[in-house]
Structure 1
């Protein structure tokens, strides 16, 4: 406390701390928002309470990636920080004001301004220019470079900054003096920067020499490699130039940062993180691309600030786009590693204290801003984001269960009858596997694997299972802004599903703990806002939500202009669509669900629930059924012709038709018998007069009857895509979910009718049937025929 007070009074007097360089502006408490610098409430609160904070630059969004890919990247990077326990502080200039911590709307607007004349690339020299001109009525957006980001991060009290690649000394700099301002900033601003070295078309030996002159400590993560390692060359793990120092892991980087900031030294730290091995481009291959690009730049007379963009573009062309994918991979890796460094640094500060207390001297006078919370669930919203994660565009939104799946496959002892099911009231020999699943997760992942832009909305607990699930989804590139973590104080646990299968991998019995979704009612408005903002083409919900919430969600999705689909989940939960208390189930054309995909048992439960609730006696139901044009005699014969006598005897076609007023498309999954499609056609639908569809038209509405826009009924039995032998079945978990996800991924394309997408969806389901994963990764290669 005494040291902090002396330091602050010297700033007020304009004096300097002995042995240090003058601090920027020599002014105390800069981070208490001014007209030039605004720090978000979330970032200020995190700094003052000792939470790990990671600075993120914005030039990558304004001058790196085009819109809307830059928005997706921004959301992904912030999500990585949150997943690993940190608070992201994206830094940039917004409407002429320096911002530390942009909210989702601001970040989207900044990213959308990429390429405009009023969106600038800003280093140290540019900050006063762009901030000052706002006072004259000229406002700019701006992406901050490494140098610009370091300055603003330091003013806010942020000590760790994760970025992509560092600027450096250009080749021929002995005559051009072309040296990046990033290097001089590292010599004067005490921030730890995590990057993948500098781009290999720069002069790496001279870059390291310059950093040494500036007093910047440079160390490279060994990643398990023995001895000294190379300083990385951005796209390649090795540069042929030894790193000045080598460190083993994030804890060592944090310890160095802790000592550095507590001396205090005024130079920065550079921790070089080699690109992940799987994304690295071999050095000799990269060198060839670089030499060719430099030759082309020289031939075209490209110099100065235009040189780097020109070379980068040429390298992208010469590498066939590999440099771009490598660039993305290393950025994700750096942000992850930077967050872990920040987290370890927070541990050091919490356990050992600091000569400046728990916070940087710049923020010592800030009082934490209390965040409004009305319940533990509301607290979860703030813990995830100050104003929710960035809303991304999405063709498909899926709401429901994200769970840890356990698959227990009965494996009889030698000599046991393999046709017998597992024995009750005792243990059974089995093979047990674990994966990330849950109905909504599986549906979303299947659609994502099929190429759709998907947003998954679910809740997880603040536990290991939940964190692992988030990490896996983020690592695969899926959007995670719709997944909310409920705090342990609510008693919420990440959902779990245990399937016990017989020796043929058919489900024998299952147990599901989905109680967390019952604790997430207060999150519904947030998820609804995401739907309204994203305006997806399709919204899918599983039956793990209670009946009232299901109806509300489907109505909101319809209001957003989305088509809707319902996954029944189980016989018990499938009834929820028809059992909402005090909620009337609307009929066609005002229905709230367009498609459902039950199995035989779930179809029966849904039909029974509708009947028991009196829905099949309502006048509006009868009005639609009468309009379908199904004759009172002869319908059974027609059902047998299309759907087989066996299914007709089971009542499958009849039940499907009777549900059409509520859900005009019913796809009943029949296992090895395939899929039965029963669909209400609107008046004027081309299939009513098509010779190709003629065998599947069960009934037509009379020409004089235009009531409810009903045209007729289409029914078609699709044989299975493949009869999979017992030995090739890996797991039945996720097969039906995959079917729905793959189906809707095709329908979201806009010009594909349901019947054309069924075979594709069945092929996807077969790939999952043969996979130990909840959704078969091989689906990625599946193409529509």
Structure 2
């Protein structure tokens, strides 16, 4: 079957060659960018100024406005996409045609005109431009039309939803999008969610190779995305880790003057994925209907997308809007990085009205800022039930409700600022709302210049229900903002990260952000302390190659440890049956043995065991120095496990912050150069202090003396 498919595909491309469909290569005298006649094009003042100052600019198409979505969703999406680009520090340049004149940088009124379709508007690719201009018509530029205009005015980055490609059944119809040949002859980087899933993705990738187009995915996997879903079943030739990598690729493509463009494929965010199988079934039904109604050529795509939206009850439209906004954010970040590589004096990536955070001041020395903490900030509502049992029957329980401030990263930064001699730099995101402002004001000791306030988001919140013993029964979290702790935000503090003695990272961020942090720390020889946050996030960094030479410490609870061990060595019997109802004598040996596979990656594991206390399992003995920067992974032959009992507390008020305070106390000892036993004793004291108070990190923590 595979041989038959390969033969059919080879035959298809041989037939293309026979039909004369060969790549057009720019001649030696061609120029990457040149301007059209002034009578044919009008560039807005904002875009003109950005071009003059070499500021980051992102070109945007207008077909999605005129033919891709119904009104008013099309206008709403266009405005959101432009706002997203601005928020990332780049200038949006939506390209369209009005009354036979190309406009680069449409105004709000012009967007409304094209979106409402009050006047006829043609879908305009490269081939259609002469006719639309000569007849003084309105037009929505496709990928190929937008690329052509962007190249002529000097905009190297173009963002879209998905590009066109080789249509299904093209062996008979030869229906191939002009987007592919445009990528082969126009030096513009196209950022998209791959190829529209209504197309033949395998043939499209082969045709792009024939055209000499460099194709790369941006993210942790090499899977080539299929528009609505993150994987098409095909692999991209190359993979990029960060937007900086993408910017370097664009820079070298333009500098070498290959004469062709490149495609940067960005998978749709997991939180916005529609049901891929359902959409695929809808696509097949829509294609069948298009064939029955004899819909052909450029009318197929808008017809199919409209039918798919109808068949999926709007799920595909929601996913479409989300992925375009996501692509805009990624494309803008690439444009900012590219401008920086070119020595731009343009924007810093912060736009007034979108973020209240100002650019950081010059970095502190390692002695002034020995640690950097990167992670989540959460406003906690703690509901403590006073009755003996909690009934899920709509009844009202007696108790108390208090508000405090949490988030693993914030707790660790808060605890360190109260325990250590110097405050860490805390990097996080909150909403530009009262909760966010209160969270920042809560502890004036914290170095809060790294807390970024986002006008378009709400501060994360978490409600926890405690029984009358202080144990957590369940919680509800609104933590969506954590996904916006992205690489571009963390990159602002790269110099601080590279100069610190220890970096602490929690699990409240996406994999690309983790990978960027680990890469910086590995290069700067800064050890990382990873706090798993919860069982579903425990093994996240273990998926990354960079964790092996960057993570020195981790602090899981038993459930999180099981998840991490199972990821490294599935089915390990030593830990499978361990539970906290057993005695420490029963679990100590199997826990120690279970950690051995993890110690190939890390050097020191702090296992928090609730009422049983904690264990430190590490490479080396407890008298060996605990690592700080400059650090490299050390493979001590000896592995030791040390148990420390839980603190004695007369009355436990809340257990919600005990683990974080334990870690903060232990880390304080590391920074002070103490041996393991003294670090552990101080950590236990900090945990006991937390247990006696309702806030996760109580102000009383400042009364503990670290030196």
TM-score (norm. length: structure 2): 0.47
Q: Rg bigger for which structure?
A: 1
